[in-house]
Amino acid sequence: MKMNKLKLLAFVVLGSLQLANAQKAPQLGKASVDEVIQAMTPEEKVELLVGPGMPGYAGLVPLEGEPDVRVLGQAGGNEEVKRLGIPKTVFADGPAGLRIQPKRQNNPNTYYATAFPVGTALASSWNTDLIEEVGKAMGEEVKEYGVDVLLAPALNIHRNPLNGRNFEYYSEDPLVSGKIASAYIKGIQSHDVGTSVKHFAANNQETNRLSVNAHISERAMREIYLRGFEIAIKEANPWTVMTAYNKIEGTYASANEDLLIKVLRDEWGYKGMVMTDWFGGYPGFAAINEKGSVSDVIAQMEAGNDLLMPGTKAQKEALLKAIKEGKVDEAAIDRNLRHILNYILKTPTVENYKYSDNPDLKAHAEVTRNAATEGMVLLKNEEKTLPYTNKSGTVALFGNTSYDFIAGGTGSGDVNEAYTVSLLEGLKNAGYSIDQDLEKTYVPFVKAATEKEMKRRAAEGLLAAVQRIPEMPLAKEMVTEKAASSEVAVITIGRNAGEQHDRKINNDFYLGQDEIKMINTVSDAFHAEGKKVIVILNIGGVIETASWKDKVDAVLLAWQPGQEGGNSVADVISGVKNPSGKLTMTFPMDYNNEPSAANFPGVPANDPKEVFYKEGIYVGYRYFNTFNVKPSYEFGFGESYTTFEYSDIAFSSNNFKDEIKVSVKVTNTGNVAGKEVVQVYVSAPSKMLDKPSEELRAFGKTKLLQPGKSQKLTFTLKAKDLASFVDAKSAWIAEKGTYTVKIGASSLDIKTAENFNLANDITVEKVNNTFDLDVDMETLKN
Ligand code: BGC
């Protein structure tokens, strides 16, 4: 009897083991994605749809109680579901290069990444091949440090110069933004790692970024704020998209069906994965530990925001409850899971890629050094002050930032690089001798002031804004002495900014009194000796230049040029490199000339809840040119050490059919080799609709042209390049009539122009009716 019982037990155990084996849960990569989804419990679905928080983000080791992570300093990633063979994958910032913790506890190795030039600097090169090379270098670091997705590129429009994150973004123009982003994505994804275009969409300010409600006409959305994303998504197919924090017409971008379903999926055909920005959709970071709002989570899921990042317990609880109670559309949940799983299937993690933790940082230092020089914009160069080749006399180096050069901005756009070459070091490396008294006073001054500022920030918590260190006071007699003993003066003006704060008008957009005093004192003294003054702008976004530029001889906009900054600037100062960058944004005469000045960052002024984009489509040069407002430096502007001539403009036909090809010959008519950025603007007929006087529709850059050499550049204009968005018809329409193609060296420096004709209106594209204004708002008309 006993024996029989045992036998029976053995039989049952064996049988159920066999059964379990036969019914073994489907494994991702072996079973189909749909089979995996079907096998998921509600709890497992939630695990995948809501990220695991940010373990390992801040320290040398994960904090107590946090799970282990593969890459310290990662911003997040998806949660694993072991039973179904779904691994964790890793996301890390950001736009200027990979942002991870450079050190780990009990580990002698370092994990530094290359700090590449910031977004404005890269874009100012207008060189998509170069950007793709930079992307490839970044992509190698992403892959070799075990990361699956770089949380970049960032391509929100420079609506207003005060946006604290403009340095991460590319331009006031959507074509430039879209093309630069495409090249960047292609470069990174060539390594089979992913990107995340962000912040989709209309994240154009940092003040109250988590909740501010943006009111934007559909036309401005389509033509300005979405167009760059559209180009990048259609041309480069980023693996993921990150939604913006802000609301658009009352709905969070991350819960906005117009944005995520009608536009992104239906119209653009996007198949990748959509994730929120970090804690996006909550009223504020304060809510992280509070109960998540169930309706937010449901709305986000149903609107097609596949993954909630970095994920909170409250979100998980809310979503689980909604799923169990049937309060969230099941089909939407499964659709989102499908996007997430399809993304995971592409990752190096799923391939079990053996990353080296040893990317080629040396080679990438060369990439960034070179890329930075191409994005530098020579704003002024009286009497060929630059290149400055005299290495026998001394250079008097002024300005705190000369000694503590800014490689890039702060926040998630920052990179933990191994070093930053200051201008002092860069000039020395290039063989210049620098005035030693100045060095001896500036270096300790800057060090002490920086330490004080760091303490202030630490004491006030991370949220304390970075503040510029006041310039070291300069005694007039000392400067007069230096003017006599040195050959030239170089002054650096520095600015930094980053997430969570917009920049200030005074003492940031406008120079501070200390800086004006420095420029005046140095210029007076050096000019009295017949010596030149060169200003280097080590900044991430636009500053005021009109009031002081006449006082100096040369102005080089170096941007925040990455870790090789000082060497890159020295390459340009010495003439090893001829600067060929041009502005991708307008430098106004005055802040109040900005079309958005009266409506930024929104109302009420002390705590903006609503922001009205009353300037409509007239952003940047579209406004300045159309309304004849003179800028200090216009969109597209940049000088060179050589000169170029434009000739032989030719069309494939003077009557537009499906497309038209435009070519132009560019000749280097100066004495040194150089590259030229060529800009193609189109003025369209405007009977049906008011339009900007001209809009950038194509651009290109010559190769390095030796003196006397020419290159023919050819551009293709398609119907969409002629079209404007007609709200009343929900359509992109190219209006019949005469079009003028203006080819220029800047938006105001048109070198050659020619007309063509379009016989009949073309409806290029019919789209969904979206983004209905939820308020009465008049927008600017021409
Ligand atoms: C930023 C994103 C970033 C994310 C993760 C957010 O605060 O807005 O750009 O990718 O944090 O660090």
Name which residue sits closest to atom 9 of ligand 1, judged by CA. Answer: 412
Task: Find the mean pLDDT for residues 102-114.
Answer: 95
3-state secondary structure 509-578: HCCCHHHHHHHHHHHHHHHHCCCEEEEEEECCCCCCCCCCHHHCCEEEECCCCCCCHHHHHHHHHCCCCC
**What pLDDT does 759 receive?**
97
**What pLDDT does 284 receive?**
42
CA of 178 to the centre of ligand 1 (A): 20
Give the active site residue among 93, 258, 277, 508.
Answer: 277
CA of 377 to the centre of ligand 1 (A): 29
Task: Find the mean pLDDT for residues 279-290.
Answer: 58
SS3 427: helix
CA of 658 to the centre of ligand 1 (A): 41
Gyration radius (Cα) of the chain, Å: 28
| 412 Cβ inside 6 Å of ligand 1 | yes
Contact 264, 233 (CB under 8 A): yes
φ, ψ for residue 617 (rounded to 5)? Answer: -85, -5
With CA atoms as reference, report the closest residue to 72 among 117, 106, 95.
Answer: 106
What confidence category does residue 288 fall into, taking pLDDT thresholds of 50, 70 and 90?
very low
**What digits encode the pLDDT tens for the residues 666-707?**
999 999 999 999 999 999 999 999 999 999 999 999 999 999
**What pLDDT does 8 receive?**
59
Q: Catalytic annotation on 277? A: yes
Task: Find the mean pLDDT for residues 82-94.
Answer: 98
| pLDDT over threshold 60, residue 323 | yes
**What pLDDT does 456 receive?**
87
**What pLDDT does 22 receive?**
43
Place of tokens 């942002």: 99
CA of 277 to the centre of ligand 1 (A): 6
What confidence category does residue 10 fall into, taking pLDDT thresholds of 50, 70 and 90?
low
**What pLDDT does 66 receive?**
83
Domains of the chain from N-terminus onward = 368-586 (3.40.50.1700), 644-766 (2.60.40.10)
| pLDDT over threshold 50, residue 653 | yes
What confidence category does residue 60 fall into, taking pLDDT thresholds of 50, 70 and 90?
confident
**Cα separation of 255 and 35, whole Å?**
28
**What pLDDT does 1 receive?**
43
| 278 Cβ inside 6 Å of ligand 1 | yes
Mean pLDDT of the chain: 94
What confidence category does residue 459 fall into, taking pLDDT thresholds of 50, 70 and 90?
confident
Closest atom of ligand 1 to CA, residue 76 = 5
**What pLDDT does 546 receive?**
98
What confidence category does residue 21 fall into, taking pLDDT thresholds of 50, 70 and 90?
very low
Task: Find the mean pLDDT for residues 609-634.
Answer: 98
**What pLDDT does 458 receive?**
85
Closest atom of ligand 1 to CA, residue 152 = 10
**What pLDDT does 281 receive?**
87
| pLDDT over threshold 80, residue 190 | yes
Contacts of 624 (CB under 8 A, 6+ apart): 586, 588, 593, 630, 631, 634, 635
What confidence category does residue 65 fall into, taking pLDDT thresholds of 50, 70 and 90?
confident
**Cα separation of 334 and 301, whole Å?**
10
Q: Please, which contacts does 445-448 make with residues 24 or more away whose CB atoms are closer than 8 Å?
A: 445/400, 445/472, 446/400, 446/403, 446/404, 446/472
| pLDDT over threshold 60, residue 443 | yes
What confidence category does residue 58 fall into, taking pLDDT thresholds of 50, 70 and 90?
confident
**What pLDDT does 13 receive?**
54
Place of tokens 């705590």: 607
